[in-house]
Amino acid sequence: MTDLGLSHVTGANAPPLIEYTIGQALARAAQQWPDRPALISAHQGIRWTYRDLLERADRLAAGLLKRGVRPGDRIGIWSPNCAEWTLTQFAAARIGAILVTINPAYRLSEVEYTLNKVGVKVLVAAERFKNSDYVGMIEQLAPEITMAVTGALSAARLPALKCVIKIGGVSRAGWQSFDDVAAISDESLQREIEQIGSRLDRNDPINIQFTSGTTGSPKGATLSHRNILNNGLFVGRAIGLGVGDRLCIPVPLYHCFGMVMGNLGCLTHGATMVYPSEVFDPKAVLETVQREKCTGLYGVPTMFIAILGHPDFAQYDVASLRTGCMAGSPCPVKVMKQVIAHLHMRHVTIAYGMTETSPVSFQSSGDDPLERRVSTIGKVQPHLEVKIVNEHGATVPRGVPGEVCTRGYSVMLGYWDDKQKTDDAIDRDGWMHTGDIGTIDAEGYGNIVGRIKDMVIRGGENLYPREIEEFLYAHPKVADVQVVGLPDKRYGEELCAWITLQPGETADEAEIRAFCTGQIAHQKIPRYIRFVDEFPMTVTGKVQKFLIREKMIAELGLTIEKTA
Query: For 274-322, what is each residue's pLDDT tens digit?
Result: 999 999 999 999 999 999 999 999 998 889 989 999 999 999 999 999 9
Cβ atoms of 350 and 363 within 8 Å: the answer is yes
Q: What is the pLDDT of residue 213?
A: 47
Question: CA nearest 223: which of 387, 432, 404, 51?
Answer: 432
Q: What is the pLDDT of residue 3?
A: 60
pTM: 0.87
pLDDT surpasses 80 at 155: yes
Q: Are 226-412+433-451 and 459-556 the same fold in CATH?
A: no
**Per-residue pLDDT tens over the stretch 57-71:** 999 999 999 999 999
Q: What is the pLDDT of residue 366?
A: 81
Mean pLDDT of 79-107: 96
Q: 459-556: what fold?
A: GMP Synthetase; Chain A, domain 3 (3.30.300)
CATH number 3.40.50.12780 is the correct assignment for the domain at 226-412+433-451? yes
Cβ atoms of 249 and 292 within 8 Å: the answer is no
> Measured between alpha carbons, how far is 404 from 532 in angstroms, rounded to an integer?
32
What is the separation, in whole angstroms, between the first and last Cα of the chain? 42
CB neighbourhood size of 473 (10 A): 17
Mean pLDDT of 366-385: 91
pLDDT bracket for residue 211 (50, 70, 90): confident
Q: What is the pLDDT of residue 212?
A: 63
In 305-355, where do the E strands start and end? 323-326, 349-353
Strand order in the sheet with 402-408: 8-10, 384-389, 402-408, 432-440, 446-451
Query: If you average pLDDT over every residue of the chain, what do you get?
Result: 93
Q: Where along the chain do its domains lie?
A: 22-210, 226-412+433-451, 459-556
Query: Which element (helix H / strand E) includes 180?
Result: helix 178-181
pLDDT surpasses 50 at 477: yes
**Per-residue pLDDT tens over the stretch 180-191:** 999 988 899 999
Mean pLDDT of 171-175: 94
Cβ atoms of 185 and 60 within 8 Å: the answer is no
Pick the more confident residue, 353 or 215.
353
> Measured between alpha carbons, how far is 489 from 492 in angstroms, rounded to an integer?
6
Question: Which class would CATH give 22-210?
Answer: alpha beta
Question: CA nearest 122: which of 160, 95, 81?
Answer: 160
Q: What is the pLDDT of residue 185?
A: 81
**Rg from Cα positions in the chain:** 24
Mean pLDDT of 456-477: 86
Type of residue numbered 130: K
- What interhelical angle do 50-66 and 187-199 show, nearest 10? 100
CA distances from 523 to 348, 458, 465, 491 (A): 35, 8, 12, 10
